[in-house]
């Protein structure tokens, strides 16, 4: 049913709550997991000069140490969860508008499922979903599994509590 599972992350603890779900599904279906970090060029454009934003858009992350380290750390935390299993993990780092990059990657790489949380680093609670998650869900035909970060049945490790 699922062969390619995309797990977008912004490196936040909230975003990491989706990872155990993606890993478990990947194990069950022998799927590949694609942890994806998107450098939000709209958000960093105010802090960086136009030349640096152009580098990000061109995929030249390694030249921008802080940005590259943040992306690599977020991906590594996803990989740590997957290391305990035998699933294939193919990290992805892109630059752009997060929901656009996520939906484009899903379309171009035959992603069968996107697993993400209801909010991430921004922490701003929306009426229903976080803004990136909401936009992804509205702009892709790929099923999106949304893990509720406010769900009391999920412990700090992102594991659902046993039913009573």
In this structure, what CATH number is given to the domain that contains residue 90? 3.40.50.620
Residue 101 falls inside a structural domain: yes
Confidence of residue 6 (pLDDT cuts 50, 70, 90): very high
CB 8 within 8 A of CB 132: yes
**Looking at residues 56-84, what average pLDDT do you find?**
74
Total domains present in the chain: 1
108 lies in some domain = yes
Residue 152 falls within a domain, yes or no? Answer: no
Question: What pTM value is reported for the model?
Answer: 0.77
State yes or no: pLDDT of 88 exceeds 80.
yes
Measured on CA atoms in the order 81, 86, 87, 92, is the torsion positive or negative?
A: positive
User: Is residue 95 in a domain?
Assistant: yes
Q: Is residue 154 part of a domain?
A: no
Q: Which residue has the higher pLDDT, 20 or 163?
A: 20
* Residue 53 located in a structural domain: yes
Q: How many alpha carbons fall within 13 Å on the CB side of residue 78?
A: 37
With a pLDDT cut of 70, the percent of the chain lying above it is 70
The whole-number average pLDDT for the span 16-25 is: 94
Q: Is residue 153 part of a domain?
A: no
pLDDT(68) > 60: yes
Assess if residue 159 is contained within a domain.
no
User: Taking residues 79-96, what's their average pLDDT?
Assistant: 89
Decide if pLDDT at 133 tops 80. yes
Question: What is the residue range of 99's domain?
Answer: 4-147
Taking each helix axis as running N to C, give the angle between helix 19-29 and helix 65-83, from 0 to 180 degrees, rounded to the nearest 10. Answer: 50
**83: pLDDT confidence band, cut at 50, 70 and 90?**
confident
Nearest CA among 29, 28, 50, 37 for reference residue 7: 37
């Amino acid at each position: 049913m699922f062969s390619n599972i995309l797990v977008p992350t912004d490196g936040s603890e909230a975003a990491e709550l989706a990872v155990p779900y993606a890993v478990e599904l990947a194990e069950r279906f022998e799927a590949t997991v694609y942890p994806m970090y998107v450098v939000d060029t709209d958000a960093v454009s105010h802090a960086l000069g136009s030349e640096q934003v152009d580098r990000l858009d061109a995929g030249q992350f390694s030249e921008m140490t802080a940005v590259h380290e943040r992306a690599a750390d977020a991906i590594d935390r996803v990989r740590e969860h997957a290391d305990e299993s035998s699933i294939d993990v193919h990290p992805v780092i892109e630059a752009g508008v997060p929901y656009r990059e996520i939906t484009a990657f899903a379309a171009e790489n035959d992603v069968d499922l996107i697993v993400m949380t209801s909010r991430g680093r921004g922490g701003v609670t929306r009426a229903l979903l976080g803004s990136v998650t909401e936009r992804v869900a509205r702009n892709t035909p790929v099923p999106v599994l949304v893990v509720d970060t406010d769900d009391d049945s999920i412990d700090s490790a992102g594991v659902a509590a046993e039913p009573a």
